Structure 1
Amino acid sequence: MTSPATARARDDLLEPPEIDIDPYADEVVLNPYPFFDLMREAGPVVRLSKYGVYASGRYEESKQIFNDHDRFMASAGIGIADIRKPGAFRIPNRLLENDPPSHTAIRGTLTKYLSPITIRRWRDHFEVEAARLADELVERGRFDGVEDLAEAYVLKVFPEAVGVELPRVEALTIGEMGFNQAGPYNEKHRRAVERAQPYLEWYENSIKRESMRPGSIGEMVLDAEARGEFDPGVGSNIMRAFVRGGVDTTVAGIGFALNQLARNPDQFALLRDNAALAKNTFEEAIRHESPSYVNFRTTTRETELSGYRLDADTKIGTFSGAANRDPRFWKDPEKFDITRDVTGIHVAFGHGSHTCIGQMIARLEAECILRALSQRISAIELDGEMRYRAVNQLHTLDVLPLKVTPR
């Protein structure tokens, strides 16, 4: 008997409702929550008529899409374009845009070099740098939570672990290009590619074996490729992914945590009085506002999802920020609560075998800097107007003016 999960679409299935909203329009990207609410309430899956793709903003359906590689493949690209098709073809990210068994083999090898033991070795250094930066910012009293704290900290410790030099302008420009390229060819996409042109040579040189710091992840990965543990080209492909995506989402998550702590004094008081909550503060921050805006899969055949018929060979996007506020799963989803149990449950890092490989690094970075700051101040508050940044496939802050009171 064929199970519903793998059954061919039936004649009695519903057609997904159409939504005539551009999720990549600046006004939607900057404030996606009205769109998220509309999408979730319209149905478990909808069709975005502007692009002819499916999308889901519900939690359970998002997990299905992430986890069912048989029906929803990643190898056609995690952006809105099908990278197999003429005009959109590019070399796939061998880690993110790959399906079992190839993905399983690559991830299994990489996990040896990104083990919890390896990452724990970095804790002392991460804590020292967090303390140094926190002392400097607390002495200043006023600073920007994005540029002065989140970007400054991540761009200090992440390159030292990964082994790649990441100057601020170059790294952020290349990262923003990558997240914009994952969306449609709109004005944000065009401008991001144009801004990145002066740094493309730096980008290619940064991932070469001779550029890697001794003892770093990059050195280990490229040496593993030289030994035949990865197929030729896979190691450098993985390092491209680290350079293009290893900074921006962590910066966004730390920014969201700082923003909510400043807006919710009761939650900051909990963290100030119990530094062990620093890790969970970050987890709740990326549940409450998820940096990864949308991730796409492609239907491998005509199929169904929660009673709705899906065409074959069609993109379907999971909007993590919507799924992480789905009231069908979360209690009081719009409330920021750092005591909420969310680790391993939210889908901000994806879900299943494609969950973010660098999540342990991001968690350690965020835990160290949030703990260091909270241990040095008695209060944190907004000190002006905060702003989001319009990026096709990344939800992030642009400016976050903060004022802190020393203990």
Structure 2
Amino acid sequence: MNEYNRLSNKYNYSPAIVSRLIEYFGEKRAENIIKELKTPSRVFAVRVNSLMISTDQVLEELEQSSIKATPHPTIEDAILLEVEGPFLVKGIGKKVIADKFACESVMQGSDLYSSGVIKLEKIKVSDPVVIEDKNGLIVAEGIAKMNSKSIMQRIKGVAVQTTNSIYKIPDLKNSHLYSRGMIYLQSLPAIIASKVLEPQPNEFVIDMCAAPGGKTTHIAQIMNNTGKILALDRSKKRLQKLRRNVKRLGIKNVISIRLDSRLLSKKYPCLEADRIIVDPPCTAIGVRPKLYDNSTDKEIISTSAYQRQFLKVAAKLLKPSGTIVYSTCTLTAEENESNIKYCLEELGLRLKDLSKTPGSPGLSSYLSDAKKTRRFHPDLHGTPAIFIASLTKD
């Protein structure tokens, strides 16, 4: 058995992913990256909404709730929280098999909702249960809050209350800090991506793939609710999430439109933006925890081509000397460095230097100026795998 297949079988990651990671980083480090991806970020970040509250005030409130948190040393609106674990989960109880996304939340301490259950043994309310993914990995134990019939009828609500999970992260979504719009749960590299855009007061900014609104609302915050941000997304459901976040966070300068932003230059040919952020759909291989991933070569290549359509439109809409920030949450060179090479060679854009920004340089074997881009590596930075590049045109 070759090394690609060994790692693929051991970790339930596709050969397409494993082969690329070995090519980029070598065999040993590729395995370490996959191990990290299968666990939550070691750095759990929270963005403070400076329009409503100061970082010091949030830290004080968290301390009063016995939640350990520290300010980021250089990013004034970022707070870092402690991720506890891994803990031993014995797996005592009747079996409940949940889908991938549900398991990735439950392993961090979230409750299991009925919508996330794939199948289960016959259970009644108050039965002890063990929650597993489809590959038999035990992620948590809990107590049934519904019987098996109600769960499979998809009665809305908590199916299993988690009592013991592999990892534990503070449940800030149920805090008043969250409900009153004082914080946004966002990865550290995603926070940095909005900073890299450097939006200025009273500018016109476009977020081409905006929902659920993390970067949109952060940009609005940096602009102190001035200027205009055009936030686009083709999904009605995702756009509704964005609008809820905009309202919750007290944002006043966002215009949200349901539109495939690849059509933006045709629909509004006279539009010009000072700054554009392109965070397109990607294979999301860098999201963590990711218990398994079946991405294929065909999906990786077709996704890269899809992303270029957004970049092509962004280049048309950008004012001279404006800035495009391109960011993905994936690891493949096709979706990252190769797409930036396309921007330089085909779209007349040039790279801005991010070498002093946190993170590591990109992959120089795919982009000669990769040192000007940033990669965040799970094994080095304790974060999701994120790629960031900043582009401009003359």
TM interval, shorter chain, is under 0.3
Q: TM-score, normalised by structure 1?
A: 0.26
**Bigger strand fraction:** 2
